[in-house]
């Protein structure tokens, strides 16, 4: 499952429309919203949208409107509904509305195809999987997001039948939009080995900090963790390498002879390390240490990470910490 971006990293949210932002249409209308009077935001949605808009996060809608192909409404009618939505949160709050028009029939614009999402990404090259989130109330919304390579969050709606489907598909699941964005705003717990005080002092003496922001605090074991993810006290922790790319100074670490926690096959391993010092002025964050070690491993292989003549033993304590950044 792809990790959801943090709220402060978000630049855009792409919402499914019916059942996510507004109530789906009545059964008499085949579940479609066909007239402005039928357009009603679900409880709490307007507050969340206003908040996101005020934070400068771009809002998009991608919506499957098979009512057009069925002749229940024409494209101008759908546009007219979206024009009204543009006035309800704040003037021009939405950056764009995308729906499967007749002209795009047969292409991948219909969900679960990625066409609508790819069109948004093409129009906004600054958006990517790390700063853009797709939100919907159906598994097909999630499939579109996966096909476009974007993270997805499921919100339960008035359609309870899809809720079971989403849980089965193990989608990141939230009762409503407010709980989703509260969760994205909350600090992320992570399981780590905290470096003990004496070991920290010894390391800072052996490797004087080269950058203004000195950290030398912990070895991350698992990001987005719970108590259940806490590792046992390790028998041996050794520093085997020291690297600096001009903005991050990092120590390579082995925990009980392992270089990283178990990683899924499709994931690049996140090597155990201690971020010693960084230069935040250069836009560097501690998480960028991963990128540095992965680059070294890719270029020189695993042994290329170990450049110390003798490994250095250190003492640590497993702890559940909170990422407030
Ligand atoms: Mg929907």
Q: Hey, which residues does 195 pair with through a beta bridge? A: 316
Q: Are residues 224 and 109 in the same domain?
A: no
**275 CA distance to ligand 1 middle (Å):** 43
**8-state DSSP, 228:** G
- CA 130 – ligand 1 centroid, Å: 23
Which of these three, 138, 155, 185, is where a domain ends? 185
Domain boundary (167, 185, 203) is at 185
Residues 143 and 217 in one domain: no
Cβ–Cβ under 8 Å, residues 184 and 10:
yes
Ligand 1 center to residue 126 CA distance, Å?
Answer: 26
- Say what the pLDDT of residue 25 is: 85
Is the domain of 179 the same as that of 194? no
Radius of gyration of the chain (CA): 24
Structural domain span for residue 40:
7-185
* 66 domain residue, yes or no: yes
Q: Say whether both 43 and 132 belong to one domain.
A: yes
Same domain, 172 and 245: no
* Distance from the alpha carbon of residue 167 to the mean position of ligand 1, in angstroms: 16
Average of per-residue pLDDT across 16-41 = 89
- Whether 122 is in a domain gets the answer yes
Report the separation in Å between the CA atom of 158 and the middle of ligand 1, taken as the mean of its atom positions.
10
Same domain assignment for residues 178 and 274: no
Domain-terminating residue out of 185, 217, 239: 185
Ligand 1: distance of its center to the CA of 214 in Å? 47
Number of domains into which the chain is organized:
2
pLDDT score, position 79: 93
- Is residue 16 domain-shared with residue 54, that is, in the same domain? yes
pLDDT tens per residue across span 175-223: 899 999 999 998 889 999 999 999 999 999 999 999 999 999 999 998 8
The string of pLDDT tens digits covering residues 311-322 is: 999 999 999 999
Task: For residue 215, give Cα distances in angstroms to 52, 90, 233, 245, 273.
Answer: 32, 42, 22, 16, 12
Q: How far apart are the CA of 41 and the centre of ligand 1, in A?
A: 13
Using pLDDT thresholds of 50, 70 and 90, give the confidence band for residue 103. confident
Long-range contacts, 309-312 (Cβ 8 Å, 24+): 311/238, 311/239, 311/240, 311/254, 312/202, 312/203, 312/206, 312/238, 312/239
Q: Is residue 2 domain-resident?
A: no
Q: What is the CATH number of the domain that holds 121?
A: 3.40.50.1000
In a shared domain, residues 27 and 152: yes
Please give the structure tokens belonging to residue 89. 């949160």
Residue 119 CA to ligand 1 center (angstroms) comes to 19
Q: Is the same domain home to 167 and 195? A: no
CATH of the domain at 237: 3.90.1740.10
Residues 128 and 41 in one domain: yes
Q: What is the pLDDT of residues 46-78, one digit of tens each?
A: 999 999 999 999 999 999 988 888 888 889 999
């Amino acid at each position: 499952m792809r990790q959801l971006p943090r709220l402060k990293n978000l630049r855009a949210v792409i919402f499914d429309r019916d059942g996510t932002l507004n109530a789906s249409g009545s059964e008499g209308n085949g579940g479609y919203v066909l007239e402005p009077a039928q357009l009603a935001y679900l409880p709490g949605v307007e507050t969340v949208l206003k908040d996101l808009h005020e934070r400068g996060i771009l809002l998009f809608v991608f919506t499957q409107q098979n009512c057009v192909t069925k002749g229940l409404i024409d494209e101008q009618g759908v546009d007219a509904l979206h024009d009204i939505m543009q006035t309800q949160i704040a003037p021009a709050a939405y950056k764009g509305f995308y729906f499967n028009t007749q002209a795009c029939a047969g292409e991948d614009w219909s969900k679960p195809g990625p066409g609508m999402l790819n069109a948004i990404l093409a129009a906004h090259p600054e958006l990517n999987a790390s700063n853009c989130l797709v939100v919907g109330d159906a598994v097909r919304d999630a499939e579109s997001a996966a096909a476009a390579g974007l993270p997805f969050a499921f919100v339960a709606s008035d359609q309870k039948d899809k809720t079971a489907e989403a849980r089965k598909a193990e989608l990141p699941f939230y009762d409503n939009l407010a709980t989703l964005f509260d969760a994205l705003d909350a600090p992320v717990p992570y399981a780590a080995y905290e470096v003990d005080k004496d070991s920290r002092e010894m390391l800072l003496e052996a490797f004087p900090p080269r950058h203004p922001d000195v950290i030398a605090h912990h070895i991350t074991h698992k990001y987005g963790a719970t108590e259940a993810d806490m590792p046992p006290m390790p028998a041996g922790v050794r520093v085997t390498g020291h690297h600096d790319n001009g903005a991050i100074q990092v120590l390579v670490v082995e925990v009980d002879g392992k270089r990283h926690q178990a990683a899924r096959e499709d994931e690049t391993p996140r090597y155990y390390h201690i971020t010693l010092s960084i230069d935040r002025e250069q836009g560097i964050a501690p998480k960028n240490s991963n990128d540095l070690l992965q680059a070294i491993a890719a270029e020189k292989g695993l042994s290329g990470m170990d450049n110390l003549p003798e490994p250095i033993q250190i003492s640590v304590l497993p702890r559940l910490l909170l990422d407030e950044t």
